[in-house]
Structure formats: structure tokens, C-alpha cells
Amino acid sequence: MSEQNSFMVFSGTATRYLAEKICNSLGCPLGNLEVTKFSDGEFAVYYEESIRGRDVFLVQSTFPNSDNLMELLLMIDAAKRASARQINAVIPYFGWARQDRKDKPRVSIGAKLIADLLSVAGVDRVITMDLHADQIQGFFDVPVDHLYGSGVILPYLQSLKLKDMVIASPDVGGSKRASTYAKYLGCPLVLCNKTRAKANVVDSMQIIGDVEGKNVIIVDDIVDTAGTITMAADVMKAAGARSVRACASHCVMSGPANERVQDSALEEMVFTDSIPYSHRCAKVKQLSVADMFAETIRRVVDNKSISSQYLI
């Protein structure tokens, strides 16, 4: 069996746009998978070609709604029952990752539950990107290849050639990520200290550091309702920043997010294409991670290290 024939790439319905780009980069066809929908909302998956003895890579982000997760679980189960040799789940965006710990009484830990579901379904390896919390890798008993969106975001930031650049974190929790960006780019770090009234609602925010006359880049992993990141941009602009841009790995952009970004002080909002983005906003730019995932798949198939892919 030739190297190209030893593995096959399939996609769920929600992430087909990215799977097609990954296959173009790999120089292989996207496998044929049929998803049958029933009138009550139930669905079933069916591989239209033999996968016996093959390494299969199943591309599907698990962003809302939960059908995307269920579709991936059924793809894994069907591949196991079809005698695939190894089942690799390629999950550019790992949903429920914000539920990574018991931060108050009587709450679920959604990220652990999803990891258990994937394992029970029969996954042998998970390839994902920018988990909300690194420790989620430990929720799995199978190998997890954790990629970083910085591999495409940092080269883009460097291409802007901005003078007096400052990297900012929209909250203290993201300080490690922002600090890593600042060290790589050789520029200062600024933090925002925020307090929340409740989930998705920011009460107040203060800047820790100097942004006057600076070109600020706010770094985050997920932008959901965009309340935090647009408030940070407005506060920094009011504090004398010359310009404010933001970059994040995952473009959730739910609810009023598009209007908030459009009406904010942000000059640009940069995401990867881990999640499809259909609501057009003039300030939003997406960078593709297809080549990065394709190279990781190639290295997994060839049993080569993937650590050399990491810029930071």
C-alpha cells in the first residue's frame, strides 16, 4: 500500500470547507462520507468507500450546535465498526473547553465529559488547536497533538511592520499567552484587569501598563460575544493608544459580536478559520490553518515529530 493510500481524510458537514483545503495541501482526495438526516432531527453517517486497515483522519470542529459533536462521535463509531486501523479526530476548535474545572459547587466539567465521549466512541488520537486550557490534554487517555494558532497569526502580525507595538491580554487569565507573543515579537506587555457581572457580561476593566502612542495588539484564544475584547479596545483607545487590533484563534462570534466589533475602536479583528464565519464584518480577517493541520497529518502518518512546527 502506497503512503498516500495508507491514510484517508473525511469531513463532517460543518468543517468541510477546511477539510477540502487540508486535502489540497496534502495532495489527496477528500473521502466520501454521507450524512443521512431524518425528519425528527436524528441523523446517521455512512462511509461510501472501504476504510478497512486505513488510518482515517476525521475533520470536524465541535462548535455549537451540539449536532457537530454528535456527528463526529458517529463518524468515529462508524470508522471503528468499519475496521479502520487508526482513528484520528482532527478538531480545530474543541468546544466545551471553557468548562475545564469545578469553579463553583454543583457544576459540570464539560471538557472532561467530551474527552470521555470521544474515547468511548473509539478515537485513537486527537489533533486540536489552542485549547482554552492546556490541562484539557490530560483529560484524554490517548495522544493529543496540541497545535497553536500563533503559527499563522505571528507571521501576519510581523507582516504589518507596526512601530511601537504593544501586546495586550484582555484579562489576567490570558497573560501567559500574551506574554509568549510579546517575548517572540520583542515588545512590551500590557494587561487588562476585568470584573464580570455574570458569564459573557463584563462589569468593569482597568489597564495595567502604558499604551499611550502605541499600536496595541490584543491577544486571545476565543472571541464569543466580543464584549471583553471590544471593551478592552475602547478603553485602550481612550487611554491614548494610536491603534488597536485584536487576534484570536477561534471565531465563535455569537449574539451581538459582529455589531460590537464593527462599532468598536478596533481597526482589525484577526481569526483563524477553525470555525466557519458566515456573518460578514468588514473588520474581520481570517487566516487559514489548513497547511498547518495538513503538515501535522503528514508527520503523524510518517511517524515524525510535530514539535518543529511550533513557532512558540
Which residues are identified as catalytic?
Answer: 194
What is the C-alpha to C-alpha distance for residues 159 and 206, in angstroms, rounded to an integer? 30
Concatenated DSSP letters of 20-51: HHHHHHHT-PBPPEEEEEPTTS-EEEEESS--
- 3-class DSSP assignment, residue 279: coil
CA distances (Å), 274 to each of 60, 165, 204, 209, 248, in order?
9, 26, 30, 32, 11
| CB contact at 8 A, 34 and 46 | yes
Upstream peptide bond of 65 is cis (omega within 30 degrees of 0): yes
| CB contact at 8 A, 281 and 262 | yes
| CB contact at 8 A, 147 and 296 | yes
Cα torsion 112, 115, 136, 53 to 10°: value is 170
| CB contact at 8 A, 31 and 10 | yes
What is the C-alpha to C-alpha distance for residues 115 and 94, in angstroms, rounded to an integer? 10
Ramachandran class of 13: left when φ > 0, alpha when ψ lies in -120 to 50, beta otherwise: alpha
